[in-house]
Structures are given as C-alpha cells and as structure tokens.
Amino acid sequence: MSDAAPAPVRTMTMAKALNAGLRRAMEDDPKVLLMGEDIGKLGGVFRVTEGLQKDFGEARVVDTPLAEAGIVGTAIGLAVRGYRPVCEIQFDGFVFPAFDQIVTQVARMRWRTRGQVPMPIVIRIPFGGGIGAVEHHSESPEAYFAHTVGLKVVSCSNPVDAYWMIQQAVRSDDPVIFFEPKRRYYEKAEVDTRGTDGAVPLPLHGSRVVRPGRDATLIAYGPMVKTCVEAAEAATDEGRELEVIDLRTLSPLDLGPVFDSVRRTGHAVVVHEAPVSVGLGSEVAARITEECFYSLEAPVLRVAGADVPYPPSRIEEDYLPDLDRVLDAVDRSLSY
C-alpha cells in the first residue's frame, strides 16, 4: 500500500503508532474495517486514521452519519456477517448514545447465542483530560465498561503498546473497548514493528512493570502511567525507589505482577483520573487487600479524581492527579 517499506524501527507518536497498527491490521485481514465520524478525509479529529481511507477505500474506512448508536449497532450486524469492525468514538463523552448497544448487545451476544456469535468489535475511545477542552471532552468512563461482563477493556499508555495492542484488539474474537489517553497522543517513542525478531510484544491481557523499585508500588493505566513514572523519578531525590506498574488491561485485570510487587514493597497506591468512588482503583485495592493482606504495611491508597464531574478546563489541573498528589500519597503510605 505504501510506496517504500517503512523502516522496522521508527520513532512515532502514539497517534501515528495507532495509525500504523490499524494499517497493518487492515493489510493482514480484509475483513477489518473502520467506522466513525470524520475518520475518512479528515483522518479523525486526532488524525489517528489519517491516510487510511485514501489507501483502503471508502468501503473499508467508513465515514458514518453522526450517530454513535448507529455506528456500534451497524458494527454488530457487520460482525455477525464475519467482518471485524473497528469503531471510533470521537471523544469519551460521546460514547453514551452508543452505551445501550455496547452493554446490552455487544457485551452479551456471545453469551446469549451460547458461543455461536462472537463479537470481534473494537471500540476506540480517546479518553481522559489535560487538553483544555470543554465539557464532555475529558472524561474517564472506563469503569462503566469494566463493570460490564463480556467486554474486554484495555488502555495503552505509550506508542509501543499502542502499535501492538490495537492489532491484538482487532484480532481478538471478543469485543474490546480500547481507551486511548488523548493527552498522550503526540508523545513519541521508538517502535520496533518487527515483533518477533525485535521486541516481542506483550499479550493484550497483561500488566507490566514499567519501572522497578522496592519501596512502594504505583499502579496506573493510560494517561497516568507517565505521571507515575515522573513521580517515581522525582522520588529518587528522596532516596525512594518506586515501582510503577501499567495495568494495560482494565477488564479482566492482570494483577499477578501487582501482587508480586506489593508483596515486596508492602505499599500500594492506585492512580487514575476517574472519580474515586467505585472506580477501577477500588477493585484493585480490594484485590490487593485480599491477596497481599499479610504483606501490607499500609492500607492501599487511591489517588483519583474527586466525586465531582470533570471541571471546567481552567481548574482541571486541580482535579487531575499529578506528580505531587502521587508523592503525597506515597508519603502517607510510607508513614504508616
């Protein structure tokens, strides 16, 4: 499709990595098609699908009417016909018109049909704050989906994962809600696109230790992974070594590496942007408490948004967990 074979190792933004991953998924399987608002000529409002319609045509990169229930609902029908639709929801707050189709239909179809009808649908959602947007453009609705059985919910945090995880999600026979941390779209990293002879990509459903440390464990996903890594770097000034774990998969959770880590450090802090109550952090904290009770030297702490709607952008920095709030929680944990 592209003129010259691209170099196997390239520095890419997360948006470009997703684009390259989608391109490869489409090349590998003619049943893969993309659907969404403005994803064709415009290449999506974040340019994640840029150039794909030009190369794969309008039947495979489908500019849809402005209707999210329609996007996901038609994707269900296409999936029943053997297609593998990848739906783009333009912003987090706009997924709710499609919520019914996702939670009552996509999530349960395999179960209802006794395994006859898989739903190999990916629903990509740019999520989270930090970009100075107006309301409904900065939300973190992941817990609604993680609470729905039948869906797999994942979030990438860097270009390498973005490149591989999107391909794995497309290949999955289960529906995947794919959360993309929009404020990290334009951050770069070197991506080895070879996979086998280069870096072997981690499976879709696995958490990863991003940075090892012995004093406390920071657990995050999506946009907060970078924040936690920065906090861990800052903590070295005080002689503290913080371990950072990227959950990558929010449902089902892969907490093995988390338990291993907490058994060593005895201190755990879970970090996310979504409101604290009944969020992902609550589940992680409960599971750590169940598994690592005798290793814990402090209660599992959560650093998250307050139980208020995402605020106007001038005060989003007060709302969003930042390095200071993470380190403050680490202090509290270590002072028990």
d(CA 178, CA 155): 6
Residue 40 engages other proteins in binding (rule: CB under 8 A): yes
Residue 23 interacting partner from ligand TPP, other proteins, none (CB closer than 5 to 8 Å by kind): none
Q: Shortest distance, CB of residue 205 to other proteins, whole angstroms?
A: 32
Other Cβ atoms closer than 10 A to 293: 8
d(CA 190, CA 177): 25
Q: What is the dihedral of CA 332, 143, 248, 15, to 10 degrees?
A: -110
Q: Shortest distance, CB of residue 230 to other proteins, whole angstroms?
A: 18
d(CA 149, CA 107): 7
d(CA 190, CA 194): 12
Q: Which of 236, 256, 315, 336 binds other proteins (CB under 8 A)?
A: 315
Residue position matching structure tokens 């003129």: 3
Residue 66 engages other proteins in binding (rule: CB under 8 A): yes
Q: Which of 51, 97, 141, 206 binds other proteins (CB under 8 A)?
A: 97
Look at residue 152 and give its three-state secondary structure.
strand
Residue 64 engages ligand TPP in binding (rule: CB under 6 A): no
Q: What b/e sequence results for 250-264 when a residue is b if at least 16 CB atoms lie within 10 Å of its CB, and e otherwise?
A: bbebbbebbbebbeb
Active site residue 267: no
* Residue type (1 letter), 85: P
**Residue with smallest beta-carbon separation from ligand TPP:** 94
Q: Shortest distance, CB of residue 69 to other proteins, whole angstroms?
A: 5
Which part of the chain contacts ligand TPP (CB under 6 A), choosing from 89-97, 107-115, 283-291, 316-324? 89-97
Q: Which of 29, 63, 192, 230 binds other proteins (CB under 8 A)?
A: 63
Q: Which of 19, 64, 90, 265 binds ligand TPP (CB under 6 A)?
A: 90
Residues that bind ligand TPP (CB under 6 A): 37, 66, 68, 90, 94, 97
